[in-house]
Amino acid sequence: MAGIVFINCFEVPVGRDEAFLELWGQIDDFMCAQPGFQWRRLHRSLDSRVKLRYVNVAGWDSAADSDKAHGEEFRRMQSQPGWLEFPAQPALYSVERDDRA
């Protein structure tokens, strides 16, 4: 799991999962086709009372690849009015420790 990890946490109101997943899927399809993309996982909280119910974690070859993928076309897709309902908290991370067996 070398490289850079992009983590994005989303506020998704209970009952709005389908609308969120439809929007997320559009961007996911785009991101998966970008140079430097390695993998991604979308997590949903088991506790519907938490604020950040969905967490997207994606691996990239480099910060530059991630930055380039989040360019003009991404911003166009993310500017759809539906996204206003789902505030996000995105950030890039480096892997400091990986203890998988």
- Pair 17, 100: CB distance under 8 Å: no
Number of domains in the chain: 1
Residues ≥6 apart with Cβ < 8 Å to 13: 85
Q: Residue 9 belongs to what domain range?
A: 4-94
- Pair 77, 28: CB distance under 8 Å: no
> Can you give the pLDDT of all 101 residues of the chain as single tens digits?
468 999 999 999 999 999 999 999 999 999 999 999 999 999 999 999 999 999 999 999 999 999 999 999 999 999 999 999 999 999 999 988 888 76
Classify residue 64: in a domain, yes or no. Answer: yes
Q: What's the pLDDT score for residue 98?
A: 82
d(CA 43, CA 34) in angstroms, rounded, equals: 21
Classify residue 45: in a domain, yes or no. Answer: yes
Classify residue 100: in a domain, yes or no. Answer: no
Q: What's the pLDDT score for residue 1?
A: 46
Residue with tokens 């209970």: 14
Output the domain CATH number for residue 41: 3.30.70.100
Classify residue 57: in a domain, yes or no. Answer: yes
Residues ≥6 apart with Cβ < 8 Å to 84: none
Q: What is the pTM of this model?
A: 0.91
Classify residue 44: in a domain, yes or no. Answer: yes
Classify residue 16: in a domain, yes or no. Answer: yes
